[in-house]
Structure formats: structure tokens, C-alpha cells
Structure 1
């Protein structure tokens, strides 16, 4: 790409990343972790870009977190050599892929059940290398994670007894007051915890207050999004990825139609309905993207004094940027409104 191409000259819809904002966000989080003696292991599910993962490690991250083996394979191919899979892996196919990764790079995996333990153990035995295991516990999300200290202690004992595995500690999401109690109970049972890995960008600035947590798994902080702005974890100036779109129709005075729908913005709303719409129109904050079809964004302008014109380009802050990243093959990276490159989203679509 020519370094003189302005982002305003790009075809829409298109996700545009401001590299200056990204670099500030990365430096700020690494600085926080360093100041409080916490290891930082960023989750790459937000950006899915090897270049950004490499930048995070270069700044001081101890490694990266991936949700799926496909993401980890992409990152290992790009030279990332310390990877945690923060997701239960089940079955022989997963074991074979994990073993192949473990032969190349340092691997850890989270488990919360005996079948996941068996899968990771099989991978370690096949690889001929120990794979680190974090036992996941539930801190209130009611998603994956054991629900009791006794369950965790049972799994820990099984990990320690299994060939091919090394017990490395605990993992949870999100970090909360319940995390403190659970960690204390495990330690009171005489278990040494080299790693206690906590997650969640919304409360990342309070990670040092969660007793026992040694490691931060945060992802969204690299871009930030409307949800994080709503909860006070970021400002608009901290948001690095905006979707640029065009007004393709003005069928009524109080309505505009954009050239982006659910295939561009996702269908995620702000949790608990704090703010309406499928993204924030940055330059028209009182307008509401109130409906989406696959390729259309319908905007209610009834409460907006200023209204975008037919053919006007607008900028949208996504509600949930991680999903938006995964909807696009490429992102445009820019500085000061000038295109610096178009990067393929290398780990997008890796659902296995």
C-alpha cells in the first residue's frame, strides 16, 4: 500500500486500527503488570494477529493465551513459543494436535474435568514432553471451571499422578472476590501454586487487589471497545479499532442506512442493556444503530440533532471488538489517518 493513502480513501465497510493507540494500550498494561509484580499473558482472541502477539511479548509478556488449538497453531507458526490454551480440550484428535504443538513450543492447558485431563496427558505422553496444567475453577461466571475446592483438589492429585503432565497452578475467569477465597482454600490444603492466572480486561486495573493472583490473562485491552467504555475501563481515546462505514440510503428524515450489518458489526449488544444499539456512531453519539440485517445497519436519527448525509462516511465503535475482528479477513492499520498496511487476520475463524 502507498504510505500516502488516507483511511478516508478506503472502500467501506472496513475495520481500521490506530497503531498509536494500540501501542499506548500495550505499554500501559505491561507497565501496570510490571509495577505490581504480575506476569502478563495476553489473550490473542481479540486481535488474532501474530505481529501484535509478538509486540506484546517484546514488551515483557511471559507468553500468550489462546482459546483454541487453531489459534495456537497459527501463533506457534509465527514464532510464539510459550502458549496457554485456556479451554478444555477433549478427545484424541485434540490430543494429537496438542502433542504436535508441545514438540515445538512450551504448552500449558486448562482443565476442569477428568476427560480433559486424560486428553492433555495423552498429548504429553505422545509428545514426550510434559505439558503444564492449570486447574480451572469457577469465580462466578458459571461457565467452565470446577465449582468446589474438593473437585479442584481431586483434579490436582490426578494431574500430579499422571505421566506427561505437570501441575502449574490454577486459572479462573473473571478474577473476583471469590477468587481470593478459592485460592486461599487450596493453599490451606497444602498445595503450592506457582501460577494463579486471572482474567478480564474490565477489572484489569484491580488485578493486584485480588489476593493470590500471579498472572493476568487480558485481551480486549489492546483495542478496547464500547462495552469497556461503558463500564469505565477505557475512554474513547483508548479505542484503537473503529469500523468505517458509508451512509448508503436516507429513506426518511429520522433514518439512515449504513453499508454494514451483522456480518460486519456482529449482533452483540451491550450487556444488561446499558446503552442501545449495535455500536456507537462516534461522530453522532445520539444516533442509534437500532437494527441490523446481514448487510444493512439501520440508524434511528430521531434523537440526533446532527444527521449524517447520504454518501457520508461514518465511524463506528463496536460493542464487542473481539467478535468484529473474527468477522474480517483483514484489518487496515494506520497512523494519523494514513494507511500503513493491510494485515490478514491470521487466526480468524479458528473454532477448533
Structure 2
């Protein structure tokens, strides 16, 4: 029998996931969705792990959300069979991949322009089975999504007239008060909406207050991160993934250098006064990672009464955990401080 290994024995820098916290986070979100009559369609871009996607479905999720075709292909290979791609798909190469997926699993795609619609329609025709379409509209993010009711209605007419497509409803990100007016206007135009898919994790606790939304797309909730803690969408004890790092240099009394930089923690900042920095050290809350280069994290200890020693191992809650996941080939999973496994991040790096 193999002797159990403590997480402290794993070399740094390394992302370590607490499976007990993950399970609590998954159960909490599913219970919330169930209590408010909302379908839950988790976004897998946070964890990129088929085992977690399957667990989310086991707990009651209606399917999963992927951002890119590469993620969807990995998840379909693993047996996930109801997938929404919440991202525009354009061109023959991507259309062929979508068609291959649609032959295997139930597919939906977000559409906000005629060119995407054309690509998806051809894929559905090639697959010989309709692909579901959600018309994406802008709720204030000013990213993808049509910006007028008229544009949405025009696309809905085209979807319903096209072979290879099935009109499934609307999609937006994030769900905001602006969502309500848009959905109402579409309904007032006489359009039946099978579903209205909204997101994301920062506003998850208010999803049921957004009239018309029938489905939640949330992703970061599985791990949570410092951004969500700052937004009061999670507590520190809800953060399941921490980066373990080592103090490799102490050039000055009030400065330490960690063996992790932007290639480990990302360069995403929280630009808020005392909260600024590149991650949060729960064991040294007054320390601040004020600068990073690719492999170095510069730790400002000037406000910290306690200071980590040279060679000491520290834990960091990332600012943006989704990006951290995509920076690592593997993650260590643990329970009670003991290693349970080392898992490859199956869908990392798949940006096409």
C-alpha cells in the first residue's frame, strides 16, 4: 500500500485543490438553482476537467457550457452529452468540427450575427441533426451580443427559417437589470422563448431576481477566487484552489521573493487600494504580492508583523482562478491536507 503524501511534500509552485471545498461549492450552487427553479449549466472553462463536469451533472446540472470547440471536444470524448458553446463560431474549419460534435452529442451555440448563424446552419445540415441556437444579446458588458431588440428579432426569423437549426431562446452575460427589459421586449413581440440563459458567478446569489432568466451559466464557483471574495460572492473558506509557493530569496527585511510569477499566478490585478496585488496569502494577510515577473513574485512585507522565512512554503489564493487553471498542465487534488491524486488539466490551452 502506498503511504499517504501530505501536500507539503509536493514541490512548488503548484496549484492544489481541496476536494472537500469543491464538493461544498458544487452542492451549494445546485441547491440554490433547485430552490429557485433555475436550470444550472456550469461553465467548465474554470476547471477544464471532465471528472468535475461529470460531477456537476450528477448533482443535477442540465448540461455544461464551453467557451471553445476544443473544450467541447474534450468533454464530449469524456461522455458529456449536452453542451452549449457560448462563443461565436465562424468559418468552414470550425463548422466541420461543430458538425462532428453534433453527430455525437446535443449541441447549442450562441449566435449574434448572420455569419455565425450561417456557419452553424451548415454544420447542422452536415450533421443531419438540428443544432440549437441561442441569440446572444448585450446586457451592458459591451462584449459579444446584439444590442437591439430589432437585431435579435431579425436573427430569430433567420434561425426559424433555416434548415439545420433549432431556436432554443436567448443568452446573455452577465445577467443584469438590463436583461429584464430585453427579454420582455422579445416576448412582447410574440416570440416564445424555450430558455433564457444568463450568467455568471459574481452575481449568482441574485440570479433568481432577474425576471425571465431560466438558466444559470456559472463557472468560477467551483473553486472561487480573490475577485469573488472582493465582490462578496464567496468567502475565503470557499476558495478551493490555492497556489503553493516557496520563499526563495529575502533580499531585505520587508521584501521576499516567491518562486511564482505571472506564468503561475497570471498578471490579473485587483486594483483596489489595500487589496491591490497579484494574490492573497491567507497565512500572511498583510503581505502583498505587489509585483510579478514571469517566474518571480515580489512580496511586500512592510505592513506584515509576521514575515515568512527563507525557504518557507506559503499559500496563495489567486485573483483569477480560471486563468491559473489554464497555465498548468496538472493540478494536485487533496483532502484533509493529504494528496489524493495529480490530474492532467484535460482541456487546458484549447483556444480554438
TM-score by length of 1: 0.99
CA deviations over 1:139-170 (Å, ceiling 9, x no partner):
00000000000000000000000110000000
CA deviations over 1:4-53 (Å, ceiling 9, x no partner):
10000110000000000000000000000001110000000000000000
Shift of 1:271: 5.5
Secondary structure class of the residue paired with 2:246: strand
Task: For 1:162 and 1:122, locate their aligned partners in 2 and report how far apart those are by CA, in whole Å.
Answer: 9
Alignment map for 1:79-228 (pairs within 5 Å): 79-228=79-228
Aligned residues: 352
CA deviations over 1:189-208 (Å, ceiling 9, x no partner):
00000110001101101110
Task: For 2:168 and 2:275, locate their aligned partners in 1 and report how far apart those are by CA, in whole Å.
Answer: 41
CA deviations over 1:260-311 (Å, ceiling 9, x no partner):
0000000001256672110001111111101111100001111111000000
CA deviations over 1:233-253 (Å, ceiling 9, x no partner):
100110000000000000000
- Structure 2, unmatched stretches of 5+, are none
Q: Contact between 2:201 and 2:218, CA under 8 Å: does it hold in 1?
A: yes
Task: Tell whether 2:7 aligns with 1:7.
Answer: yes
Task: For 2:273 and 2:169, locate their aligned partners in 1 and report how far apart those are by CA, in whole Å.
Answer: 36
Task: For 1:168 and 1:177, locate their aligned partners in 2 and report how far apart those are by CA, in whole Å.
Answer: 22
Supply the RMSD in Å over aligned alpha carbons: 1.0
Q: Which residue of 1 aligns with 2:302?
A: 302
Task: For 2:333 and 2:344, locate their aligned partners in 1 and report how far apart those are by CA, in whole Å.
Answer: 11
Task: Tell whether 2:236 aligns with 1:236.
Answer: yes
Q: Contact between 1:223 and 1:238, CA under 8 Å: does it hold in 2?
A: yes
Task: For 2:173 and 2:293, locate their aligned partners in 1 and report how far apart those are by CA, in whole Å.
Answer: 32
Q: Contact between 1:333 and 1:340, CA under 8 Å: does it hold in 2?
A: yes
TM-score by length of 2: 0.99
Q: Which residue of 2 aligns with 1:68?
A: 68
Deviating above 6 A after TM superposition, structure 1's stretches of 4 or more consecutive aligned residues are none
- Structure 1, unmatched stretches of 5+, are none
Shift of 1:133: 0.1
Q: Which residue of 2 aligns with 1:350?
A: 350
Q: Contact between 2:229 and 2:235, CA under 8 Å: does it hold in 1?
A: yes
